[in-house]
Chain A
Amino acid sequence: MDLFLHLCVMIIIYIIFAMSLNLEVGYTGLFNFGHVAFFGISAYTSALLSLQQVPFELSLLIALAMAGLWGFLLSIPSLRLRGDYFGIVTLGFGEIIRMVFQNEVWFTKGPMGLPGIPKPILFSYRFATLSQYLLLTLGFAALTFLILRIILRSPFGRVLRAIREDEVAAEALGKNVFFFRIKSFVIGSLFAGLAGTLWGHYTTFISPGDFTLLETILVLLIVVLGGKGTEWGPVLGAFVLIFFQESLRFLRLPAEWTRYLAPLQQMIFGGLLIVLMIFRPEGLLKEKGRGSNAGN
């Protein structure tokens, strides 16, 4: 039963993480290949504050603000550029942030990591057991889903899709493409931060090794497998992939196998991305009202 609840918590956290990336990659057409950075920034911020006895409500808010702020700072130099450049800048950013976690030992304890992150207390209610935590994440996931749905069905959301389909046409209609992209990127970073905070307080131990390219690849795969630019795509993708990943951990395979199993599993993720892109780029669920030949 605990295993089942654990699976549910992980899946829901990744649903939030994937929904935030879906806003950027799926709806706005931003090539964000360093999404793990914002997940990590918030996880660290909230963990460090909570370890200093700052109440959870406050540390959550500051963690979200930090993710949003860094998203904003990164987007200024890089979002004016065409997709390839943006992709490589975000990819690099993801690596650099991990380097900071690793090197600033006085602050983050470096490779030792941060143990003993307290379970959250929200409005004097402590979410300590698995089922309580599941309720908490479920609440936040529903909130994220609703907020993103409102955003994407508003005129703002339509502009984002217009930018994705044809940047020049959107510009010609008087939309400042650059600002819309920044807003989308900052909102995406905020929700990635929410996922990161929830994850940090759930595992109670974080270290730089938790925020590698693997996380970026995994969340990207969730989005494109489920169906980018769809409301339920990230949900479906997270169910399939997190179930696969987490259940491998509980098979109790001999320890010497992990040396081979971990890279093998990651090879499967990489290969799956390639195969999907070649044979079914739209993913399992297809975005409504979008022709098969839509693109740039």
Chain B
Amino acid sequence: MDFLFQSILNGILAGCIYALFAMGLTLIYGVLNFVNFAHGELIMWGAYFLYFLMGKPFGFPLPIALIPALLLTILLGIGMDRFVFKPLRTANRLTLLIAALGLSFLLRNGAQFLWGAELRTYGFEIKRGLRILGISITLNQVAIILTSIVCIVFVYLLFHRTRLGKSMRAVSDNLELARVMGIDSKHAIQFAWVIASVLAGVGGILLALDTNLQPGMGLINLVKAFAATLLGGVGNIWGALLGGIVIGLAENLGVLVISPGYKDAIAFGIMVLMLLIRPSALLGRQE
């Protein structure tokens, strides 16, 4: 029984992280109307930026390294848009997606070039978890859940309480109409990249704290983020949150039944299942 509770806890933990990925992915989808295949690489680079700043020659402690790592991730996100996606705004969809896939591959191998393909960690000792009601939870894990909640609340306030957030929602709803109303769409698009990059960076760092870093981590998490997005309804930020938690739970409960080697395949399975059962619901909010 304890085992089951433990899996649920781990599932929620992973789910919070996936939710951060999915919220960023769906935000860009909402504003620019395409799936950013390089979103996984923002996640991966976010985690590696922190690794870079904590290692030699800097050796910053985690709290100090965090801010510059996120700034670098934002820079990468903005750079992606400026140099790859902006020149292709009016290109046809196939051209855009092939470029996004190329970008993803470029960034993944860039990380492999710099840090090699092996698994890395931030080098914290594994501490004994606190035991509450038979469930073990480490301080890291508490921090992960708290950070995710802070991010989610932050996104909520941003979207519903600020002018900038509202203009982003307007652009994502209807670009033409937003322009007519005098909303600066370029500004809103740029800001969407900032938010998506921060969410990806924070998520990547949390994931790396909980597990490890590897250049291939981007692709598989892109699939998970997309599965979560599909579950929650494309373009819907709160759906993405819910979808992320469902995927996290399904993965951690699923490995009780099937081989752990297939843990990363569960999100894909859910995605295909969703496409089979409710293809119409997924197309709900397009064009």
> A-side interface residues toward B, CB under 8 Å?
25, 29, 31, 33, 76-78, 80-85, 87-89, 91-93, 95-96, 99, 102-103, 213, 217, 220-221, 224, 259-260, 262-264, 266-267, 269-274, 277-278, 281, 295-296
Contact = CB atoms under 8 A, between A and B. Distances in A.
Given A88-B35, A96-B265, A266-B109, A277 B223 contact: no
A102 B88 CA distance: 38
B97 A83 contact: yes
Interface residues of B, number: 48
Contacts of A96: 265, 268
Interface stretch (B67-75, B99-107, B136-144, B159-167): B99-107
Given A80-B279, A88-B35, A267 B109 contact: yes
Interface stretch (B44-52, B110-118, B199-207, B247-255): B110-118
B265 A99 contact: yes
A264 B111 CA distance: 10
Contacts of B110: 263, 267
B219 to A, nearest CB: 7
Nearest to A73: B272
A32 to B, nearest CB: 11
Contacts of B91: 277, 281, 295
A270 B104 contact: yes
Contact of A277 (B34, B98, B113, B271): B98
B220 A95 contact: yes
B272 A277 contact: no
28 contacts: A31-B93, A33-B97, A76-B276, A81-B279, A85-B275, A88-B35, A91-B37, A91-B101, A92-B223, A95-B219, A95-B223, A95-B264, A96-B265, A103-B259, A221-B102, A262-B112, A263-B112, A264-B113, A266-B109, A274-B84, A274-B99, A277-B88, A277-B91, A277-B99, A281-B92, A281-B95, A295-B91, A296-B93
Given A87-B35, A213-B219, A263-B113, A271 B93 contact: no
Nearest to B92: A295
B35 A266 contact: no
A293 B95 CA distance: 12
Nearest to A216: B101
B177 interface: no
Contact of B103 (A33, A259, A274): A274
A220 B98 contact: yes
Contacts of A99: 261-262, 264-265
A89 B37 contact: no
Contacts of A295: 91-95
B276 A77 contact: yes
A264 B109 CA distance: 7
Given A77-B275, A89-B271, A270 B95 contact: no
A31 B97 contact: yes
Q: Which secondary structure characterizes the binding site on chain A?
A: helix
B99 A103 contact: no
A143 B84 CA distance: 39
Contact of B97 (A87, A221, A267, A278): A87
A270 B37 contact: no
A96 B259 CA distance: 14
A295 B89 CA distance: 13
B219 A31 contact: no
Contact of A217 (B34, B99, B101, B268): B101
Contact of B116 (A81, A259, A264): A259
Contacts of A269: 102, 105
A92 B275 contact: no
B87 interface: yes
B283 interface: yes
A77 B35 contact: no
A138 to B, nearest CB: 30
Closest 8 pairs between A and B when the two form their complex, measured CB to CB: A273-B102, A295-B92, A270-B106, A270-B105, A103-B261, A277-B99, A263-B113, A77-B275
A272 B102 contact: yes
B34 A84 contact: yes
Interface string B171-188: 000000000000000000
Contact of A278 (B87, B226, B286): B87
B282 interface: yes
